[in-house]
Structure 1
């Protein structure tokens, strides 16, 4: 990952720290020499102005990239996770719920134990990813995801499930997403999409092995529905349906979430979460009043667990997303996406990371509630 950009105007000047580190693959594709690559990068950074988006070709390209980053790179979950440090009884529930709590206890031990987790006050993660996508196609026919991959990197700051900030840069398109505990938001660098806002929600990427404590607290509410072999690992399956109150809190005049279900696959051998799935169905209100259904199914295979200051953090994985669109006024369409991700650095307890760091854009300040 490239973190610093040289100053080409003054050789004795300090190098510039990039907001989002650049993966080596993205860097090498920008020219034939190091000097040309950094000049192209510098030119791109200076060109982030509104007149750049006047060309329809460029606008369509960046709209597509923004769509990828919203759907695959920075999806949110329509629920709230409450941190729970109380003693966890497994006796006062049904067999399925008690079994789930026991599996979560084994998971918490496998990722380092409660003492190690309690020592973590905040987190900063730096990573890289590659995203590829198919076009929309009709019916249930199988279509290979396009071979072209969009390369990028991200920086994620995290203090608790509702205090976080993500900066994600892929192929020149940047998305900033965050939550300050009162509202969550997303905005893109091309400014062609309006800033979206809603109630505080967790970033799905946390539950891909970066935030074990939130993962444990989430699945404490689940039930065990059986077993399945995942990548030659025998796993317990925990299932959680998002409550109706959480779904209603996310609804908007433009859309309604009908259901959202989550599954976690925990290895019987290691106790670790090795796969995370979720499925969401929502209806979008069209201009003529007809509803169009969007069904999104996402699954993440989680790999390469390593200890960082006593906490077992997943450092790589692959996420697959399938979107179905259908309705009375819409033909059945299907689209598939794939993301390969890798964590390069994880730092705990970053000094000076206060709640002010997670403030929303000034345009949204008026929407904050007390």
Structure 2
């Protein structure tokens, strides 16, 4: 991945560090020569001005990319991860809950053990991804994401489950998401799309093998519902139903989350999480009084575990997202997205990473002061 941009005005000047590293494939598609590629890169990175959005074609293109990056690249989970649940007694739980806690204990051992995880105070991960999507299809016909892929890169920062920041760049469209422990937010480089905010929520990407401690704490709330073979691996299935209080906390006047369920598939052989799955149903209320249901099902296959400073981190995976849209005044539609992701670098205990790094955008800070 490309992490430095040369200074074209002065050859003897220092190179510029890119906010988000650029995958090599994305870089080579920007021109026929190295200089032209960097110039094209610099042009569209500086072009986030209001006149850029005067063209409907550009607006529609970036709205589509932003939708992709919100749904596939930076989804949030409408729940809180309870820390320090390990003190709860297994004996005081039901058989299904006790079994789940035992499976999580085996997972924590396979991931490196509690001492190694306790030594991690912060995290920085650099990765790249490829996203493909289908159009909306009417009815119940089978849908598969189209082969044309959008390539991009991302950088993740985390200090604890509620202090994190994601910068995600795909084909010139950038999304920044974060949480400072009090609110979470997402914003895109499309200046016409408002910043979305809500209560602090975990980023789903962390639970795809990057943050074993939060994954363990999350599934300590689960129950074991059976077994299943995933990619020739016999796995235990752990299930979590998001509480009604969490669902209500993350709703607003426009939409209501009806249910959100999470499943984790843990290998009986290795103890590792090999598949992470969740399903959400919400209803959106429009100004004309119509209500439309949106059902989102997401499956992530987690692969290529490698030790980084004693902690077993997943370095690649595949995510498939299927969206159903239906309602009384709306025809049934289905759409599918796919993402392939790889982790290039992981660094723990980043020096100088303070709470100030996770400050919300100025627009949200001004709103808090006026309310």
Q: TM-score range by the shorter chain?
A: over 0.9
CA–CA distance in structure 1, aligned partners of residues 34 and 363 of structure 2: 39
CA–CA distance in structure 2, aligned partners of residues 13 and 54 of structure 1: 36
**What SS does the corresponding residue of 2:87 show, helix, strand or coil?**
coil
Structure 1 stretch displaced more, 229-238 or 140-149: 140-149
Structure 1 stretch displaced more, 275-284 or 80-89: 80-89
**What SS does the corresponding residue of 1:167 show, helix, strand or coil?**
strand
CA–CA distance in structure 1, aligned partners of residues 181 and 110 of structure 2: 29
User: C-alpha root-mean-square deviation of aligned residues, in Å?
Assistant: 1.2
**What SS does the corresponding residue of 1:70 show, helix, strand or coil?**
helix
**What SS does the corresponding residue of 1:192 show, helix, strand or coil?**
coil
- How does 1:141-290 map onto structure 2 within 5 Å? 141-290=141-290
Deviations 1:300-336 (A, max 9, x none): 0000000000000000000000000000010000000
Change (3 A) 1:85 1:115: farther
CA–CA distance in structure 2, aligned partners of residues 366 and 56 of structure 1: 30
Change (3 A) 1:99 1:198: same
CA contact (8 A) 1:183 1:368 kept: no
In structure 1, the partner of 2:52 is 52
In structure 1, the partner of 2:349 is 349
CA–CA distance in structure 2, aligned partners of residues 244 and 86 of structure 1: 23
- How does 1:35-46 map onto structure 2 within 5 Å? 35-46=35-46
In structure 2, the partner of 1:307 is 307
CA contact (8 A) 2:219 2:238 kept: yes
**What SS does the corresponding residue of 2:35 show, helix, strand or coil?**
helix
Q: How many residues align?
A: 370
CA contact (8 A) 2:85 2:220 kept: no
**What SS does the corresponding residue of 1:100 show, helix, strand or coil?**
helix
In structure 1, the partner of 2:115 is 115
Deviations 1:125-177 (A, max 9, x none): 00000000000011111133111100000000001111000000001100000
**What SS does the corresponding residue of 2:293 show, helix, strand or coil?**
strand
**What SS does the corresponding residue of 2:201 show, helix, strand or coil?**
coil
Deviations 1:277-296 (A, max 9, x none): 00000000012212100000
CA contact (8 A) 1:241 1:262 kept: yes
**What SS does the corresponding residue of 1:90 show, helix, strand or coil?**
coil
CA contact (8 A) 1:50 1:190 kept: no
CA–CA distance in structure 1, aligned partners of residues 269 and 279 of structure 2: 27
Q: What 5-or-longer segments of structure 2 have no aligned partner?
A: none
CA–CA distance in structure 2, aligned partners of residues 293 and 85 of structure 1: 34
Residue 366 (structure 1) shift: 4.2
CA–CA distance in structure 2, aligned partners of residues 339 and 216 of structure 1: 24
**What SS does the corresponding residue of 2:96 show, helix, strand or coil?**
helix
Runs of 4+ in 1 over 3 A off after TM superposition: 85-88, 366-370
CA–CA distance in structure 2, aligned partners of residues 88 and 310 of structure 1: 26
In structure 2, the partner of 1:10 is 10
- How does 1:295-334 map onto structure 2 within 5 Å? 295-334=295-334
CA–CA distance in structure 1, aligned partners of residues 216 and 368 of structure 2: 29
CA–CA distance in structure 1, aligned partners of residues 235 and 368 of structure 2: 42
In structure 1, the partner of 2:90 is 90
Deviations 1:19-45 (A, max 9, x none): 000000100101111111111111122
Change (3 A) 1:85 1:242: closer
CA–CA distance in structure 1, aligned partners of residues 290 and 154 of structure 2: 38
CA contact (8 A) 2:143 2:334 kept: no
CA–CA distance in structure 1, aligned partners of residues 368 and 231 of structure 2: 44
CA–CA distance in structure 1, aligned partners of residues 145 and 243 of structure 2: 33
CA contact (8 A) 2:5 2:38 kept: yes
CA–CA distance in structure 1, aligned partners of residues 110 and 88 of structure 2: 16
CA contact (8 A) 1:88 1:101 kept: no
CA contact (8 A) 2:86 2:217 kept: no
**What SS does the corresponding residue of 1:62 show, helix, strand or coil?**
helix
- In the alignment, does 2:359 pair up with 1:359? yes
CA contact (8 A) 1:182 1:368 kept: no
